Amino acid sequence: MHDPLYYSRRPYADALLTMLAEGVVSAFTLFAPRRMGKTQFLLNDIQPAAEARDFAVFYFSFMDSDAQTENRFRLALLDFASQLGIGGKLKAWLAGIEQVSAFGASLSREKAPAPASISEVIEALAQGGRRILLLLDEVQELARLSDTGGLIRSLRTGLDVHRAQVKVIFTGSSMNGLRQMFSDYKAPFFQFAHAMAFPRLEQEFTDFLADIYQARTANTLDKQALYQWLVRFEHIPLHLRTIIQNMIIDPTLPLDVAAAAQQQYLHDSADYAAVWRELKALDRLLLQALAQEKQTLYAQDTRQWLATQMGVDDVSVPQVQAALRRLTRGDFITKNSEGQWAVNHPDMLGWIREQL
């Protein structure tokens, strides 16, 4: 179904697919915080562009990972293989799949054959005669579970061995989780998954929305003002889409009123004030420093500022280190693709900046 408010990034999709198709790389890892449009990009831009290049495309999201994630992923891959008419070693296991519904595949036998490993399914896909593209969304969620080590190793092995025929695009919203999965120098992922920051949308996106608004309502809209709201919302496209959608539904609604209402809704629903109160004083100050784009967190002048704000004589380097570890464990901060500390959640970053 056509989404009139979706801003296509097809040229970027084509550039990635060209590198995959030509063998320049076999895997990309696209990183961006949540709500930056990664999933929509995979489904609305990458998938149709890849299918036009005769790739068979498989999409799976690890967003709601739990104890059954490995089984769901395996069954989804097996169903994909079945749809492509691939059998071979998988024939016995495929015969045990009863049906696929909106809730995924289910097994029809009490005594199903021993489950095929992920690497075996990937091997069968590679030998099926089609170029395969796997779109694996929010893959860092696997690192949060204690029982997915076998899945990760099997996935690494299968993709590494069959990289010529099976390409993959990972996405992730937690650099901490991605680093936990991919940073092991002994792991095949380290050798071939090319990490890239997913580019954020700029004024071309808000100009696109403004043009749609003006075409639908015959009202004019200050494009520069709309872009400034994108900046205040930390470049999260969903929020600007919601604002424009509400303004199209009610053409009398001014931009500032619609944007302020969206901002208040976000702050109320997330209850960042309550989260903030639970943090230690030093942790809050470090988040404020990062919101102001300070990077020299261990420097004497920064530690003196921290001490002054806390009403103490000194804040030591070990204290700062301990606070950064706490914030990292809580997923409040991460190291970005440039190796700099950053607040991990754009909505929270926007809330902090609004409080300063």
Is residue 172 within 8 Å of residue 36, measured between CB atoms? no
Q: What CA–CA distances, in Å, run from 92 to 119, 154, 256?
A: 16, 20, 61
**Phi/psi of residue 158, nearest 5 degrees:** -60, -45
- List, in sequence order, every residue forming a beta bridge with 290; answer none if it has no partner: none
Q: How far apart are CA 9 and CA 36, in angstroms?
A: 13
pLDDT in tens, 243-253: 999 999 999 99
Here the tokens at position 71 are 């089984």
| Measured torsion, CA atoms of residues 262, 263, 265, 271, in degrees rounded to the nearest 10 | 160
Instruction: Collect all residues with Cβ–Cβ distance below 8 Å to 104 and sequence separation of at least 6.
Output: 72, 75, 76, 79
CB atoms near residue 262 (< 10 Å) = 18
Pairing mode, strands 104-107 and 97-101: antiparallel
Closest alpha carbon to 182 in 3, 20, 348, 31: 31
Q: How far apart are CA 42 and CA 58, in angstroms?
A: 10
Is residue 77 within 8 Å of residue 118, measured between CB atoms? yes
- pLDDT (tens place) for every residue of the chain, 356 residues total: 689 999 999 999 999 999 999 999 999 989 888 889 999 999 999 999 999 999 999 999 998 777 788 888 988 999 999 899 876 656 656 665 544 444 455 544 444 555 678 999 999 999 988 999 999 999 888 877 777 778 888 898 899 899 999 999 999 887 666 666 665 544 445 455 788 889 999 999 999 999 999 999 999 999 999 999 999 999 999 999 999 999 999 999 999 999 999 999 998 888 899 999 999 999 999 999 999 988 899 999 999 999 999 999 999 999 999 999 999 989 899 887 677 898 988 999 999 998 87
Tell me, what's the pLDDT at 179? 66
The string of DSSP codes covering 141-175 is GGGGSTT-HHHHHHHHHHHHHTTTTEEEEEEES-H
CA angle 132, 137, 65 (to 5 degrees): 120
Closest alpha carbon to 118 in 109, 129, 126, 106: 126
DSSP 43: I
For the chain, the domains span 10-197, 203-270, 272-355
Here the tokens at position 25 are 């790389």
**Phi/psi of residue 186, nearest 5 degrees:** -85, -10
Q: How far apart are CA 183 and CA 32, in angstroms?
A: 17
Tell me, what's the pLDDT at 193? 73
CB atoms near residue 334 (< 10 Å) = 22
Topology given in CATH for the domain delimited by 10-197 = Rossmann fold (3.40.50)
Is residue 136 within 8 Å of residue 168, measured between CB atoms? yes
Helices within the chain (DSSP H only) = 10-21, 38-41, 47-52, 69-83, 91-94, 118-126, 149-161, 175-182, 188-192, 203-217, 223-232, 237-249, 255-270, 272-278, 281-291, 300-310, 317-329, 346-355
Tell me, what's the pLDDT at 153? 85
Here the tokens at position 237 are 């496209």
DSSP 46: I
For domain 272-355, the question of CATH label 2.40.50.100 is answered with no
Closest alpha carbon to 158 in 114, 192, 129: 192
